[in-house]
Chains A and B, each alone.
Chain A
Amino acid sequence: MLKTLSFSILLLFSFVAIGQTRVQILGKLVDTSGHPLSQATVMLLLPKDSSLVNFGRANEQGAFVFKNVKRQPYLLKASYVSYVPLQVDVNPAQEESLDLGALSMKPISKELFEVVVRTAKAPLSIRGDTIEYNAGSFKVPPGATVEDLLRKLPGMEIEADGSIRAQGQTVKKVTVDGRSFFGSDPKLATKNLAADAIQKVQVFNGKTEAAKVTGIDDGKKEKTINLELKESHKKGGFGKITAGIATEGRNELKGNYNKFDAKNQVSVIGLANNTNQSGMSFDDYQDFRGSQAFSWGDEADFGFSGNSRYITFDDGDEQLGIPIGGRRDGFSKNYSGGANYNYDTKNTKFSSNYYFNQSERLIDKIATTQRFFQDKTQNSADTTSQLSFSANHRMSLRYEKTLDTLNTLILIGNGKISLGNSTQSSQIFQQLLVQNNLYPRNTKLANASDQQSFTSQNTAIFRHKFAKKGRSFSASAGYNYANSDGASTQKSLNKFLSATTLRDSIQAIDQLTNNFSTKTQVKSSLFFVEPLSKVFYWESFFNTSFQNNRVNRDLSDRSSVGMQTRNDSLSRFYDNNLTYNRLGSSVRYSKDGVNVTVGLAAQHFNLTGDFRKAAGATNLATIDLNYLAWIPKVGIDLELKNNRYLFFSYDKSVQEPSIRDLQPIVDNSNPLFLRVGNPNLLPSLNHSLSTGFNLFDAANFLNFYSNLSYNYNVNQVVYNQSINANGIVLTKPMNISGGESYVGYFGFGFPLKKTVSTLNINADFNSAGNPLFLNDVLSKTNTNSGSISSRLSFTPNDRITFYLNAQFGLINSTYEKSALPEQTIYNNQYGSELNVNFGKNTFFSYNLDYKVYENKTRGLYQEMPILNVSVYKYVGKAQKSEIRLTVYDVFKKNLGVNQNAFQNFVSFEKTKTLSQYVMLSYTYNMRGLSSSLRKN
Chain B
Amino acid sequence: MKKVAILLFLVSFFAFCQEGKQEGVVHYERTTFWVNIMSRLTYLSAEEKDRIKLTWGSTDEGWKQKMTLAFNENQSLYAYGEENTEQGWSGRKETFFLTKNFAAEHSTDYIDMLGKTYIVDDTLHTPTWKILNQIKEVAGYICMKAETVDTVKNQKITAWFAQDIPVMAGPERYFGLPGLILELDINEGDVTIVASKVEFKKLTNEFNLKKIKGKKISDAEYTKIIADFIKDSIKGERNPYWGLRY
Which residues of A are in contact with B by a Cβ distance under 8 Å?
1-6, 8, 11, 14-15, 17, 39, 41, 43, 45, 49-52, 55-57, 59, 67, 77, 79-82, 85, 87, 117-118, 121-127, 232, 236, 238, 240, 258, 260, 262-263, 265, 283, 286-287, 290-291, 293-294, 305-309, 342, 344, 346, 349, 469-470, 534-535, 537, 588, 590-595, 637, 639-643, 696-701, 751, 754-755, 925, 927-930, 932, 934-935
User: Can you list 10 A-B pairs, Cβ within 8 angstroms, ordered by A?
Assistant: A3-B16, A14-B6, A43-B178, A45-B130, A50-B130, A87-B133, A287-B51, A291-B59, A698-B242, A930-B45
Please name the 5 residue pairs, one residue from A and one from B, whose CB atoms are nearest each other, closest first. A698-B243, A593-B92, A6-B9, A699-B114, A123-B136
Instruction: Write out the residue numbers on chain B whose beta carbons fall within 8 Å of the beta carbon of A11.
Output: 6-7, 9-10
CB-based contact B54/A290 at 8 Å: yes
CB-based contact A309/B178 at 8 Å: no
A746 to B202, CA, bound (A): 54
Given contacts A50-B130, A124-B136, contact A642 B116 (CB under 8 A): yes
0/1 string, B131-158, CB within 8 A of A gives 1: 1111111000010111000000000000
CB-based contact A287/B163 at 8 Å: no
A123 to B163, CA, bound (A): 14
CB-based contact A699/B243 at 8 Å: yes
CB-based contact A700/B135 at 8 Å: no
CB-based contact B115/A699 at 8 Å: yes
Min Cβ gap B246→A in Å is: 13
A51 to B54, CA, bound (A): 39
CB-based contact A122/B146 at 8 Å: no
Min Cβ gap A753→B in Å is: 11
0/1 string, B210-232, CB within 8 A of A gives 1: 00000000000000000001001
Instruction: Write out the residue numbers on chain A whose beta carbons fall within 8 Å of the beta carbon of B86.
Output: 469-470
Instruction: Write out the residue numbers on chain A whose beta carbons fall within 8 Å of the beta carbon of B142.
Output: 81-82, 117
Q: Which of B12, B137, B166, B236 contacts A117, CB < 8 Å?
A: B137
Residue of B with least CB distance to A349: B59
A51 to B166, CA, bound (A): 19
Q: Which of B7, B51, B83, B135 contacts A85, CB < 8 Å?
A: B135
CB-based contact B12/A2 at 8 Å: yes
CB-based contact A591/B115 at 8 Å: no
CB-based contact A6/B12 at 8 Å: yes
Residue of B with least CB distance to A68: B6
CB-based contact B130/A51 at 8 Å: yes
Q: Which of B6, B61, B93, B131 contacts A15, CB < 8 Å?
A: B6
**Residues of B51-98 whose CB lies within 8 A of A:** 51, 53-59, 61, 83, 85-86, 88-93
Q: Which of A8, A77, A262, A697 contacts B58, CB < 8 Å?
A: A262
CB-based contact B135/A56 at 8 Å: no
CB-based contact A52/B146 at 8 Å: yes
Q: Does B177 contact A (CB under 8 A)?
A: yes
Q: How many A-B residue pairs have CB under 8 A?
A: 227
Q: Which of B47, B56, B129, B164 contacts A925, CB < 8 Å?
A: B47
Min Cβ gap B48→A in Å is: 9
Min Cβ gap B62→A in Å is: 12
Q: Does B196 contact A (CB under 8 A)?
A: no
CB-based contact A593/B93 at 8 Å: yes
CB-based contact A591/B85 at 8 Å: yes
Min Cβ gap A235→B in Å is: 11
Given contacts A11-B10, A79-B144, A588-B88, contact A50 B131 (CB under 8 A): yes
0/1 string, B163-200, CB within 8 A of A gives 1: 11010000000001111000000000000000000000
Q: Does B121 contact A (CB under 8 A)?
A: no
Min Cβ gap B42→A in Å is: 10
Instruction: Write out the residue numbers on chain A whose beta carbons fall within 8 Å of the beta carbon of B43.
Output: 932, 934
Given contacts A81-B163, A698-B114, A755-B236, contact A639 B58 (CB under 8 A): no
A535 to B15, CA, bound (A): 44
CB-based contact B88/A287 at 8 Å: no
A240 to B51, CA, bound (A): 13
Instruction: Write out the residue numbers on chain A whose beta carbons fall within 8 Å of the beta carbon of B209.
Output: none
A591 to B236, CA, bound (A): 34
A283 to B9, CA, bound (A): 67
Residue of A with least CB distance to B86: A470
Q: Which of A49, A118, A293, A640 contacts B92, CB < 8 Å?
A: A640
Q: Which of A1, A6, A15, A55 contacts B13, CB < 8 Å?
A: A6
A649 to B13, CA, bound (A): 61
Instruction: Write out the residue numbers on chain B whose beta carbons fall within 8 Å of the beta carbon of A56.
Output: 16, 178
Min Cβ gap A583→B in Å is: 20
CB-based contact B163/A41 at 8 Å: yes
Q: Which of B15, B133, B242 contacts A127, CB < 8 Å?
A: B133
Given contacts A123-B136, A590-B88, A755-B235, contact A927 B242 (CB under 8 A): no
A262 to B57, CA, bound (A): 8
Residue of A with least CB distance to B166: A57
Q: Does B238 contact A (CB under 8 A)?
A: yes
CB-based contact B55/A291 at 8 Å: yes
Given contacts A41-B178, A52-B130, A469-B86, contact A67 B93 (CB under 8 A): no
Instruction: Write out the residue numbers on chain A whose beta carbons fall within 8 Å of the beta carbon of B61.
Output: 346
CB-based contact A934/B92 at 8 Å: no
Q: Which of A45, A117, A240, A260 contacts B54, CB < 8 Å?
A: A260
Q: Which of A55, A641, A755 contacts B178, CB < 8 Å?
A: A55
Instruction: Write out the residue numbers on chain A whose beta carbons fall within 8 Å of the beta carbon of B146.
Output: 52
CB-based contact B90/A595 at 8 Å: yes
Instruction: Write out the residue numbers on chain B whose beta carbons fall within 8 Å of the beta carbon of A930.
Output: 45-46
CB-based contact A701/B144 at 8 Å: no
CB-based contact B232/A755 at 8 Å: yes
CB-based contact B55/A290 at 8 Å: yes
CB-based contact A591/B90 at 8 Å: yes
CB-based contact A236/B10 at 8 Å: no
A79 to B144, CA, bound (A): 8
Min Cβ gap A109→B in Å is: 14
Q: A50-B130, A306-B88 are in contact. List 13 more A-B contacts (CB 8 A).
A: A1-B5, A4-B12, A5-B16, A11-B9, A14-B9, A39-B16, A57-B178, A59-B16, A125-B134, A262-B58, A305-B88, A344-B59, A698-B115
Q: Does B11 contact A (CB under 8 A)?
A: yes
CB-based contact B85/A291 at 8 Å: no
0/1 string, B29-54, CB within 8 A of A gives 1: 00000000000000101110011011
A535 to B132, CA, bound (A): 45
A123 to B135, CA, bound (A): 5
CB-based contact A594/B8 at 8 Å: no
Min Cβ gap B224→A in Å is: 13
Given contacts A238-B50, A699-B114, contact A80 B163 (CB under 8 A): yes
CB-based contact B177/A52 at 8 Å: yes
Given contacts A41-B179, A287-B51, contact A534 B16 (CB under 8 A): no
Instruction: Write out the residue numbers on chain B whose beta carbons fall within 8 Å of the beta carbon of A82.
Output: 142
Residue of B with least CB distance to A15: B3
Q: Does B244 contact A (CB under 8 A)?
A: yes
Min Cβ gap B114→A in Å is: 3
A443 to B197, CA, bound (A): 83
Instruction: Write out the residue numbers on chain A whose beta carbons fall within 8 Å of the beta carbon of B133.
Output: 85, 87, 125-127
Q: Which of A3, A124, A590, A697 contacts B135, CB < 8 Å?
A: A124
Residue of B with least CB distance to A54: B178
A52 to B146, CA, bound (A): 9
Instruction: Write out the residue numbers on chain A whose beta carbons fall within 8 Å of the beta carbon of B238.
Output: 701
Instruction: Write out the residue numbers on chain B whose beta carbons fall within 8 Å of the beta carbon of A51.
Output: 128-131
Q: Does B208 contact A (CB under 8 A)?
A: no
Instruction: Write out the residue numbers on chain A whose beta carbons fall within 8 Å of the beta carbon of B137.
Output: 117-118, 121
Min Cβ gap B41→A in Å is: 12
A2 to B8, CA, bound (A): 7
CB-based contact B13/A593 at 8 Å: no
Given contacts A15-B3, A643-B115, contact A236 B131 (CB under 8 A): no
CB-based contact B54/A291 at 8 Å: yes
Min Cβ gap A646→B in Å is: 11
Min Cβ gap A857→B in Å is: 46
Instruction: Write out the residue numbers on chain A whose beta carbons fall within 8 Å of the beta carbon of B243.
Output: 643, 696, 698-699
CB-based contact A699/B91 at 8 Å: no
Min Cβ gap A816→B in Å is: 44
Instruction: Write out the residue numbers on chain B whose beta carbons fall within 8 Å of the beta carbon of A283.
Output: 51
